[in-house]
Structure 1
Amino acid sequence: MLEKSMYDSWVSHISLFIKGNKNCRMMLDSIDEGPLVYPMVVGEDGQTRPNKYSELTETQQLQDDCDIQVKNIILHGLPLDMYALVNHQEAGEDIWDRVKLLMKGTELSYQERECRLYNLFDKFASVQGETLYEYYWRFSQLINDMHTIGMTIQQVQVNTKFLNALPPTWSKFDTDVKLAKSLYTTNYDQLYAYLSQHE
């Protein structure tokens, strides 16, 4: 279910759910390119009209079914207040775009979120009394939020921040880790595992 601060995670979950379906490529195409446009035919009365579902080719029928299925998947992942704002849309593509606009706003609001996350990263520090696991968990959430919106940061920066923000009681082990591990090739999960042996 979509939550206000978790749009990017929601997109990832919905995309993975769609990819788990038999006709995932057609469903993803429906989001990216819009629904099937029914071909036009000339009826018996000489008037041009869209084909009926029964007159579509097997592939077109499958695409139409996928269009409906992807719309339902997206709508089922929305809370009631958001559902009420987008359920009138006919196509999965339109619902997807509307939800994105409502959740992420404009490019300016994305930049604001990116700046906020960089600021949180810069100011990240241990909290008095927290365990090493709690520290690691908070740091992991921050890095995950940064990755989720596509922010990139060098591995050595992440590792250095993880070690430098540890409480002073860990300074001896902090130095040992920096000497024993390459901060360019190791990740902070491995650093945590190494440190947790000494907790």
Structure 2
Amino acid sequence: MHNNIMAAGSRDRPPMLATGRYAQWRSRFLRYIDTRPNGDALRKCILEGPYTPSTVIIPAVPATENSPAVPERTTVETILNMSPENKAHFESEKEAIHLLLTGIGDEIYSTVDACKTAHEMWEAIERLQQGESLNIQDVKTNLFWEFGKFTSHDGETMESYYTRFYKMMNEMIRNNLTVATMQVNVQFLQQLQPEWSRFVTIVKQQHKLDEVSYHKLFDILKQYQKEVNEIRAERIAKNANPLALVAAALPHQDPYYQAPKSYNSYAPTLKASLQTRSHATARHKGKEIAKPITPPSESASKEDSDPEQA
């Protein structure tokens, strides 16, 4: 598109200055000037400045029989007494101004039009475009940085990711930035979220990244969007309920590590045990109460009267 703008009307009018294309425009403009019948004079007006009439010295004329002597004098040069070369230079100034104003856009027209000569206009255009070149270099640097840091967002669809990547690549092309196909494809694939890794591997196995475009990669990967959504949903569910992962693993663990029973499961057994123990204690206590108690003195007398002890 820029080349079309610059070449538009190149046979009948000078090429148009496009943003960021000053070096090309300068060369084309001077080549166009050379095709004009008064090309040399136009070049002098643009590159050197307008022709300034000089002071001409008219030599003295000696007296003759028919006329008196005329002393040496000076006069300002005019169209009538200019040399053909100087006359062409002088008369080409207005045409040079017209051609320059015809070849620039509205964004700098007012600044350039304020200049008085074609040469001043030429220098103003160069000065303005050099400043713009610095800005363009900043834009290129930022675009390269954006390309290197480009990545997909968590939960982003393949279509959304591709659209953002496509816009960035178009912006780089518009600013005359070229990146190898292999590098573009690698950047496109490796910046996808982890749930795409399985399908990215499939693509790498089936296609040569230095021969296929990232548009084709998008067409292939978008077919796996449903599977990616399922993987993503499963991951979100596990992150939202960590115990679900533990519960899913329990049936496969050793019984020793299984979760203990609740306290309520022990309540009936404990209650029955306490009741049994209480009844047993009562029975033993009943027997102990029914057993006669022998005084110590009587026990000692029985031992003394026992023949076996003797």
Question: How high is the TM-score relative to the length of structure 2?
Answer: 0.43
Instruction: Render the CA deviation track for 1:6-58: whole Å, top value 9, x for unaligned.
Output: xxxxxx54x42232435289537873254553488x976212444399x99xx
Instruction: Render the CA deviation track for 1:82-130: whole Å, top value 9, x for unaligned.
Output: 5444443547865653442232228xx72x5444333222211012344
Higher-Rg structure is 2
How far apart in 1 are the matches of 2:208 and 2:181? 10
Aligned to 2:133: 104
How far apart in 1 are the matches of 2:156 and 2:102? 43
Q: Give the aligned residue type for 1:188.
A: Y
Structure 1 residues 156 and 19, CA, compared in 2 at 3 Å: closer, same or farther?
Answer: same
Q: Does 1:138 align with 2:164?
A: yes
Structure 1 residues 69 and 155, CA, compared in 2 at 3 Å: closer, same or farther?
Answer: same
Q: Does 1:46 align with 2:72?
A: no
Deviation at 1:183, TM superposition (A): 0.1
Deviation at 1:146, TM superposition (A): 3.2
Structure 1 residues 156 and 83, CA, compared in 2 at 3 Å: closer, same or farther?
Answer: same
**Unpaired segments of 5 or more residues in structure 1?**
1-11, 57-63
How far apart in 1 are the matches of 2:205 and 2:157? 23
- Percent identity among equivalent residues? 24
- How many residue pairs were aligned? 170
| SS at 2:104 equivalent | helix
Deviation at 1:182, TM superposition (A): 0.8
Aligned to 1:9: none
Structure with more contact order per residue of length (Cα contacts < 8 Å, sep ≥ 6): 1
| SS at 1:27 equivalent | coil
How far apart in 2 are the matches of 1:195 and 1:68? 56
**Unpaired segments of 5 or more residues in structure 2?**
17-23, 34-38, 45-50, 52-76, 226-310
Aligned to 1:74: 104
Aligned to 1:21: 9
Q: Is the 8 A contact 1:71 1:95 kept in 2?
A: no
Question: How high is the TM-score relative to the length of structure 1?
Answer: 0.62
Structure 1 runs (4+) greater than 6 angstroms displaced: none
